Every structure is written in structure tokens, then in C-alpha cells.
Structure 1
Amino acid sequence: MENADLPKAVSRLPLPMNSTKRPILANASDNHESQPAQEEHQEQTNTMENADLPNAVSRLPLPMNSTKRPILANASDNHESQPAQKRQRKESEVVAATTIGTKRLPAASARPPVSKPDRSMGHPAATVAAGPSRGVAAKRPVSATVPKAGVSAGTKRPSWDLKGKVADMQGKLTAYQNKVKSSDQSNESLKAAVTEKDVIIREQQSRLRETEEKLTSCQETVARQRDEIHFGEMERRCLHNVIQELKGNIRVFCRVRPLLAGGMGGHIQLPAHDDKTLILAKSEESHTGRTDTQKNYSFSFDKVFGPHSSQQEVFEELSLLIQSALDGYNVCCFAYGQTGSGKTHTMEGEDSEDGWGVIPRAVQQVFKAARKLEEQGWQFSFTASFVEIYNETLRDLLYTGKASNRPEHEIRKSADNTGTVTNLTYKKVTSEDQVIDLMALANQNRATAQTPVNDRSSRSHSVFQLGIRGENTGRDLKCNSTLCLVDLAGSERVQKSQAQGDRFKEMTAINCSLTKLGIVITALANKENFIPYRNSKLTYLLQGFLGGNSKTLMFANISPETDNFGETLNSLRFASKVNCCVIGTASANRK
């Protein structure tokens, strides 16, 4: 629009004499030429440049000091872009050149006709057509077609087509308005979704708060119940200990072995209404020898088991005592009786689970109770050992090395009067199955032999000890205890066993140690000031379990044969003496 004030007629400006190019006065209507037409025109001008300069000479006067002639354009040409103006200026300079150097072209060329203004386009325009150059055929200018109002998309509208441009802008505006509406609808749907999600989140947060409140309440309830369980457990232990004290810290059970053919000898009577009494009867001749009199020996114990009692029934009476080991009390159980009376069967039993004896069943109960107490915060560790006393010599039953390298063992007493054996194998165990495997190894290493009385007679005292260490860090409680289970060798008579050589030495050592055990029991029963524990390895090893700080149980095993009446009577008398002992109140090893 800057050229809008230019005059409508072509100004005849004087051309300089030294100008080498002639201007081309283009009509205003030529400004709408398309790009292909301009490229064709460019090729024509290149051809003209290579030939002689054009012969057409403008009749306009050329000023002397001008080197270029101006191009008069109509006011309507101002809408062309700058690159198009530069290309047309180059074409005009080539076509309109009239002089070479400072010389004028010859006047042979005719004056180019002046085209009349084309008024059909609605605006005046004037162009000066250049004459044909010498030797160059004149080429008509390619007129550009004016695009109609309804141009397709991608075609640039001319600057004068304002209605078309407005229509395009309105179309774009409508498209943008549609996009805005679509975006608004999407935003509305997203806002609705966000609102719905906010409602769901608020509901979930409300439920979460309720759940947290319930969880807090449940945690408080669990903590309160744990306290109640703990206090209940402590109360149970106290009551359990009271019951065990009322029963006596040393208790005696009597068990009658059945005959090989079944049943029981006639000299042993078990009252049907009383499970704590046993009567031993014997027919004796009178002093005159005329009549036979029957003499009865009555014995009373904590429990009497007949020949038909199962292993499970026997252990049920012992299970409450085993529970005390987890409560922090030392517990000892040993079987006493003559050889072949069933001591090993009572303590160890058979390989099948139904035939298990006291040792495997006690260990099984200890591990089960420990797993239950773990729920209350207790953690337990267990250590097992097996030792035998053979001819007053300590031997490690869990030793797996060479016999020639077997170490020597001694009994050492600690400050709490508990005995430990030096150089003894202590195995960490975590289940009853591991203890069963250790028992099998100990049975292989234990000294046994065949005698006239027993096909597989134990020639040594076997002592199994399970060390129990418990800790409750939440309650700051600790407990240490030892479960000691002893299978004593059976007493023998030389006249009946007819032992000789090594068997005789073994029999002598066994009877001697059992006699010294009886002396210790008698001293405890009489409450003597001095108790001779050091007289034998057996009593010295069991000092901590016989001296008061332990709960002790003795099995008195008797044989049902009539010819064993004397040994049976001695065993029952010894058991009665043990049953009368009062060793004081056991104390728990708790901190």
C-alpha cells in the first residue's frame, strides 16, 4: 500500500545516457503471473543476455548522469512480494537496455507501442512494451491468470481477493471454534471424571481412616491379649509348680513288666480300685513246718502301671513334669531295677513312634511346647549330649573318631552346683528328629552284652542331657534348665547271672554304683548334713538333680517272674525309700 499515491499514468522520466539497461514498464495486471511463467520468462532473458543487446531504444530522454532507468509501476503493483519484484527488475533491466557503455543504440529499432490501460480489471494500468531486439524474436509476455474467488485450499489468494480471504479466515475460525468446542467438551468430561474420582478417593480415604482406627483398636486388643496370655502363662507356671511340689520333688512310679507269655505272676497283686498300691505276696512255711503261711508286702507309690499299660499312658503321667523344664526347672528322670525288668524299654522304647519311650516322647513334647511359646516372644536353643558310665569310667556315646584317640573325661562342678563333663560332644539340635538320630548313634556305641539273664543287657549307665536356653526379649526374661534322662544298668546277683571275666567286672561296678546311689538317697531321706555324692561317678554327675534344685522322677521297674521275687522285693524297698525323701523346694533358673 506504500505505492498507492503514485500517479496512474506512466511518468516519462529521462533516461541516463550511460545506462546499459532499458526499463520495462509492466502493466499492473502482469503482477499476478504464476511461478512457471516467470521461470519461462527468465530463460528468455538469459538467451537475450548471451546475444547482442536489444536494438529497441526507448524514446524517453536519458539523463547524462543516470546509470539505470526507473521502472514505473502502477500503484496496484505494491501488493507483490519482494522476491517477485527482484526477479521482474532483472528481466526489465535485460529487455530495456538501450546502450552499451556510453554509446546509444542505433535508431533502427522502432519505438515500441504504448499499450493502453486495461480497464477491464477495474483499475488503470499503463505498460511500455519493449521492441523486439535485433536478431532475437520477440516473445509475448505470459499473462498470469487471476484466481477465482473459490480457490482450493493450499492456493494463495491474490491480495485484492479480500472476500475470499475473509471466507478462508471465517472457515479457519469455524474450524478453531469447533476444536475449542471439542476441547471444552473433553474438559467437561475430564472434569466430571475427576470429580467422580475425587468422590471415590474421599470414600476410600474415609474407609482407610476407619480401617486404621479398627487396626489400631485391634492392635491394642492384641497387645492386651498378649499381656493377658503372658500373665496367664506365668500364673500357669506358678500353679504348675505348686502342684508338682505337692506331689513331691522326688516322685516314684512303679511299672511291672509283662511275662513273655503274657499276663503277670501270681505273687504280684494290683488292686483294681487303687492305682498307687502294689502288693507282693509270698507263701512261707511256718516254723514248725506243718502249715504254709502267706506273707504280703504292700508298697505305695505315686503311680503304679500294670503289665498292660502302654507307652503313651506311662508318658502322660510324666508330661507335666517335662513341662517344668521349659519353665526353667531342672528335671531328672531315671529308671531303676534289676536286669531284664524293662528299664531300657521304658526310657528308649522301640523304633516305631507308637513304641517310643520316655526320652523320644519327652524331647518331642519339649520342641512342640517351644514352638507354641515362640508365639509369645520366646526363643529357645537346645544342646544335646550322651554319656555313659562304664566301669566307673566316663565315655562319650556321640564320639565318632578312632577308639585309640578317645579323649578322657572328667566331671566339673560350676557355681550353681551343675555338673559338666570335659571333652564331651555337645550337639546343637532344632528338632526331635535330630535327637532320634543321636539316640541311634548312642545305642550303637553303648556297651551291651548277652548274659544268662538278659540277651541284650546294658552294661553301663546311660545319661542323656538336653540343655534348654530360653529368652524373651520383649519381656526381658531368660531361663536356663537341663532335662536329664537316665537309663540305669540293672542290678544282678552272681549266683543267678553266673558272670565271669569282663561280665563279672561289669556286674561288680554296676552293683557298686547302685549301692552308692542308695546311700545318697538314704542320706537325703534322713536329712543328713553330709551327702556322699563323690563316692561314685553316677551320684557325682547327678548331684545337681538329687540335691534339691530339681524335680526328679524315678521309675521302679520290676520283673513278673516268681524266681525274681528277691530282686523285686529289694527294688520295691529301694523305691519306697526314695519316695520318702524330701529334698526341698526346687527353684527355677530364671532371670
Structure 2
Amino acid sequence: KRAGWDLKGQLEDMKALVQSREMMSSELQTQLDSYNQRIISLESHNNHLSGTVNQKEQQTESISREIEDLKRKLRNSEDDLDGTKRRLQREIDDLSFSKSTLERQKDSLAGELTASQTEITASTNIKIKDTTIMELREMIRIHEAKIREQDEELINQETMRRKLHNTIQELKGNIRVFCRVRPLLGNETQDNDGVIGHMTFPDKDGKVLEMEKLGDSTILNSTRGGNKLLFSFDKVFDPVSSQAVVFEEISQLVQSALDGYNVCIFAYGQTGSGKTYTMEGGRLEEEDKIGMIPRAVRQIFSTGLQLQQRGWTYTYIASMLEIYNETIRDLLSEDQTLTHDIKMKGKDSGDVHVTNLTTVNVTQESEVFDLLKRASHNRAVAETKCNERSSRSHSVFQLHITGKNSSTDESCQGTLSLVDLAGSERLKQSGSEGQRLKETLCINKSLSNLGNVIMALGKQDSHIPYRNSKLTYLLQNSLGGNSKTLMFVNINPREEFFNESLNSLRFATKVSSCVIQGRLILMSWE
């Protein structure tokens, strides 16, 4: 600090301070200009990014419209094919009626010819007799030619029907998933007056199931609608759907087995979700409770009889077994000491068979129903000895169908496999120990292998792990190639089983996203 009398020194200090402040002000102005330039640059970049986002949104909207257009075209194609199929069926019916009319006319003319021959024999006019006989023979020849034409037309129409039917089934997908929610039963209805509050069926087409974990905000809050989860399948059956309504949706798939394709229908879900009721149903005397297996058998034999007039004859071989802890048990055999294994039929054959398995030639549906009763009895006996074995094992009913057309020399072979899978159970929540733990591990491994096989088929992998479990090894010809596969995912409506239901629905969604033979897989198997 300078002395008070040193005014010149103080003035120099003031000048130096002013210069310092001016330099600082200049630097601050330079920084301000730099920041302004940075702001302008960032605003320009932000405007550019906004334009890019808008462009991407427009592209996304365009692609979505294209996808919807393709879906609409596919639905139109299916409708056109269904219309063509119905028209051909009407033409077949008309031709059948015309054929029967011509046959009656032929029989009538043959009778007239016989009568005329008798009358002419007694007549002295040989010329009139010969002329009449020739005319009647010509008429018979013409009618016989028309009948042959009608028979050929019927055969051609049946061949066309089979091709169109298979085309329609392939358009619908070689792997389909149906979801079925059973109703609340007995005491389950007491707490909530029979209302299933956490499940809704929002769409009119019956293809969506909506679930909501009531009172729990921790379940997938990222899902649109908070706690609500949407699952879409080829068909969703609510708790009031009858057995007849369910079977109507799979009846065309059953028809494919008669047409020479391998068809596999299996029920998946936790224990108590309604799998066995769906597949086997109640007593045969209760028409509305009959399950998918007896209904499919009834349709097979009924349609087989109708096709006889078009030259087709069929033979049927039935079998039924269960797979418990990766061990096969013959449900139609009284000798339970026999061991069973799965073997290839030959070096060059892709077909498999079960050693020592009881197979029965059947000619009518009542014989199959007797076999089903025998299998149910044998399974019930095992259940009392093996801790509810029916819910801990896979049951497999198979009907092998061989068809031969005497008119065209066509032949076909198909297998209808109807499977009631063991109850899926997450090990963490089951608390299983001992034998039950072993059962749960075997079941989960088997079901996991089933999913792996389906996903490998969808991805068209060079190696399909059929032999990783007895179930997939047995069903390998009914899962791959040109086979038709349908999965029922059965859901328990009780809210305390929400997590188990969610697990089943996620598995079914992965199966639904996979389609055999060239169609894209929309989800990956995790």
C-alpha cells in the first residue's frame, strides 16, 4: 500500500487495475461469443436430429401399413380358398346325387330291357325285337358312360379337396397355439363370487388374453397399461367355452390325419389347469363333456366311412402309453414287467417304434373307446401306487392311419398323436423333495427339450435334438417335416397361481412365434 502523499504511484496503480479489468472483460466477452457459437451449433444439430426422427417415424408408419396390407391379403387368400373348398364340396354333393339318379335310371332301364326281351321272345316280329334291344342297350351304354364320367369327376373333386384342405391348413400355420382358461370350480368360487378378476378377453375374435396382477405394482411395470399383460394366440377359449366349441376349431386339423399327414395335438400347463379334461373329458355318456381324443376318434371313423363311396378304404392301429421319469409304460398291456424302448424301424427309415408296445387293429370307434377305458383303468391303478402319477407323467394316444384308393391307386399314411403332458411346475415354488423332486426335474427337462425341438425346427437347424428326451424322440415324425402341430396351453384361473400361469403363457408365446417350413421366427428361444 502506497503512502497518502504518493499520488502518482496511486494513479499508476489505478491504471494498472483498469487495464487488468479490461483484459478480463475481453476474455469474458470471447468466452461468451464462444458459448453463443456452441449454442447455435447445438441448436442446428438438434434440428437435424429432429428431422431424422420424423423421417424414421414416417418409415416406421409406412412399414406398418405394408405389414397390415400383407396380413389383409393373407386373410383374403384364406377366405378365397375356403370359398373354393365349399364350392367344390357342393359340386361333389351334386355329382353324387346325379350319380345315384343315373344308377336308378340304369336299373330301371335294365328292368325294362329284361321285360322287353321277354315280350319280344313271344313276339313274331324279330325285327322289332332286335331294334328295341339295340335301343335299350345303347341307352344303357350311354348311362354307364355318364356314370363313369361322374365317378371320375368325384375322384378328381376329392383330390382337389385334399389339396385345398392342406393349403388352407398350411396358411394357418404348421404350428398353432390355442389357449384355454378353465372355469373356477367348487369352493374356488366362494371368495370372489365366481369372478376371475385378473383375466379378461378383450377382442371379439377370441385371440387375446389379458392378465393383470391385482395389487402388485412390481410385475412388469414397463408393459403397456401398467400391470396388464397381453398374450395373443391363434385362438383363446374363455372359461365358458364348451368342449364342442373347442373341438370345432381343431376338427380340420384332425381331417389332415386322414389325408396322410402326421398330426400332433398336445396339452401343456401346470397341474390342475384342465389338460386331462381337455384331452380326455368326462364320461362318454355325457356328450357335452367328451374330450378331444374321443371326439377326434369319432370324426376319423365317420369321415372314413363317407370317403368309402369315393374309393377310399382305411385301416387303423391304436396304441396308448405314458412316459414317467423317462420310462415308458404300456397302458394297454397287462404285463408290466416288459421293458420298452424307442427304436428306428430301419436304416433308411425315419420312422420310430416302441419295442414290446401293444398295438391294436381297430375298425370302429367303439373299439377305440374300450381301449381308452382300459388305458384309463391301468393308469388309475398306477396312480394309487405312484403318488398321483397321472399328473406327473405324459400320456400319448396314437392312431396310425393307412388309406388306399381302389379307383386311383393312391395311398396315404398318417398318424394322429394326442398328448396329455405332465404338469409343468417351477422347482423354486414347488418345494419338491425326494421322489417328487426327481419327478419335477424329469418333467421340466422333458418339457424344456420339447421347446428346444420346436425352436430348432423353426430355425431350420441342421440338427434337431429329438433324442434328448423320450417324448420328443417318440413324436419326432409328428413334429417336423410336413406335420401339423397344435399346442393347448391350459391356464388355471385362480389368482394365487398367477406366476405359474404367466410362465405357461410365456412358453406358449415362444412356441407360437415359431413356424415350421420357411416361415420366420419372430422371437428367440431364451
TM-score (norm 2): 0.68
| Cα distance between partner residues in 1 of 2:443 and 2:218 | 36
Per-residue deviation, residues 178-197 of structure 1 (Å, max 9, x unmatched):
xxxxxxxxxxxxxxxx9994
- Residues 1:444 and 2:377 are matched in the alignment: yes
| 1:470-489 Cα distance to aligned partner (Å, 9 max, x none) | 11132111111111111111
Give 1:387's match in structure 2, choosing from 309, 321, 329.
Answer: 321
Residue in structure 2 matched with residue 373 of structure 1 by the alignment? 307
What per-residue deviation string (whole Å, max 9, x for no partner) do you get for residues 214-267 of structure 1? 332222222111111111111111111111111100011111111115655211
Structure 1 counterpart of 2:509 = 576
Of stretches 269-278 and 237-246 in structure 1, the one that deviates more from structure 2 is 269-278
Taking structure 1 as reference, are residues 196 and 325 closer, same or farther at Cα in structure 2, changes over 3 Å only? closer
The 1:203/1:576 distance shift into structure 2, 3 A limit, reads farther
CA 203–301 in structure 1, closer or farther in 2 if over 3 Å, else same: farther
Which residue number in structure 1 is paired with residue 164 of structure 2? 239
Q: Structure 1 257/473 Cα, relative in aligned 2: closer, same or farther at 3 Å?
A: same
Q: For 2:121 and 2:412, how far apart are their aligned partners in 1? A: 60
Q: Is the 8 A contact 2:178 2:487 kept in 1?
A: yes
Q: Is residue 295 of structure 2 the alignment partner of residue 361 of structure 1?
A: yes
Shift of 1:312: 0.9
Q: Which has the higher helix share?
A: 2
User: 1:280: which partner in 2?
Assistant: 211
Larger relative contact order (Cα-Cα within 8 Å, sequence gap ≥ 6): 2
Cα pair distance change 1:272/1:286, threshold 3 Å: closer
Tell whether the 8 Å contact from 1:282 to 1:294 is kept in structure 2 after alignment. Answer: no
SS of the aligned residue for 1:375 comes to helix
Q: Which amino acid aligns with 2:202?
A: P
* Secondary structure at the counterpart of residue 168 of structure 2: helix
* 1:339–1:457 Cα contact (<8 Å) kept: no
Query: What letter matches 2:144 in structure 1?
Result: Q
Match of 2:268 in 1: 336
The CA deviation at 1:497 is: 4.7
1:316-335 Cα distance to aligned partner (Å, 9 max, x none): 11111111111111111111
Are 2:398 and 1:465 equivalent residues in the alignment?
Answer: yes
Q: Is the 8 A contact 2:304 2:314 kept in 1?
A: yes
**Contact 1:521–1:577 at 8 Å: present in 2 too?**
no
Deviation at 1:432, TM superposition (A): 0.6
Alignment correspondent of 1:310: 242
Identity of aligned residues (%): 53
Instruction: Structure 2: give runs of 5+ residues left out of the alignment.
Output: 1-118, 520-526
* Structure 2: distance between partners of 1:498 and 1:256: 25
Whole-angstrom distance in 2 between the partners of 1:201 and 1:273: 78
Match of 2:231 among 299, 313, 328: 299
Matches of 1:559 and 1:372, distance apart in 2: 39
Structure 1: stretches of 5+ with no match in the other structure: 1-193, 587-591
Paired residues of 2:199 and 2:209 also in contact (CA < 8 A) = yes
> 1:581–1:285: structure 2 CA closer, same or farther, 3 Å change rule?
closer
Could you tell me how far apart the structure 1 residues matched to 2:218 and 2:208 are? 27
Paired position in structure 1 for 2:34: none
Contact (CA 8 Å) 2:179, 2:235: kept in 1 or not? yes
Alignment of 1:365-444 (within 5 A): 365-401=299-335, 403=336, 405-412=337-344, 414=346, 415-444=348-377
2:253 to 289, 310, 321: 321
**CA distance 1:234–1:566, shift in 2 (3 Å):** same
2:338 and 2:356 in contact (8 A); partners too: no
Question: Equivalent residue of 1:363, what SS?
Answer: helix
Cα–Cα, structure 1 residues 527 and 226, in superposed 2: closer, same or farther, change >3 Å? same
Comparing 410-419 with 331-340, greater Cα deviation is found at 410-419
The letter for the 2-side match of 1:390 is Y
* Amino acid of the structure 2 residue aligned with 1:220: A
**Equivalent of 2:200 in 264, 269, 281:** 269
Deviation by residue 1:129-166 (Cα, 9 ceiling, x = unmatched): xxxxxxxxxxxxxxxxxxxxxxxxxxxxxxxxxxxxxx
Q: CA RMSD in A?
A: 2.9
CA contact (8 A) 1:549 1:585 kept: no
SS of aligned partner of 1:446:
helix
Match in the other structure for 1:515:
448
Give the drift of 1:369: 1.2
State the partner residue of 1:589: none
The residue type equivalent to 2:209 in the other structure is L
Displacement after TM superposition at 1:396 (Å):
0.9
Offset of 1:442 from its aligned partner? 0.9
Equivalent residue, structure 2, for 1:221: 146
- Quick check: which has more Rg, 1 or 2? 1
- Paired AA for residue 205 in structure 2: D
Contact 2:342 2:352 survives alignment (8 Å):
no
In the aligned structure 2, how far is the partner of 1:495 from the partner of 1:196? 96
Give the length in aligned residue pairs: 385
Change (3 A) 1:560 1:218: same
Give SS of 1:350's match.
Answer: coil
Relative to 1, partners in 2 of residues 1:538 and 1:438: Cα closer, same or farther, differing over 3 Å? Answer: same
The letter for the 2-side match of 1:430 is T
Shift of 1:581: 1.1
Q: TM-score, normalised on structure 1?
A: 0.60
| Residue equivalent to 2:465 | 532
CA distance in 1, matches of 2:366, 2:226: 51
Deviations 1:90-143 (A, max 9, x none): xxxxxxxxxxxxxxxxxxxxxxxxxxxxxxxxxxxxxxxxxxxxxxxxxxxxxx
Asked whether the equivalents of residues 252 and 553 of structure 1 are also in contact (C-alpha less than 8 Å), the reply is: yes
Q: Are 2:422 and 1:486 aligned?
A: no
What's the CA shift for 1:204? 7.5
Q: 1:206 to 1:495 in 2, by over 3 A?
A: same
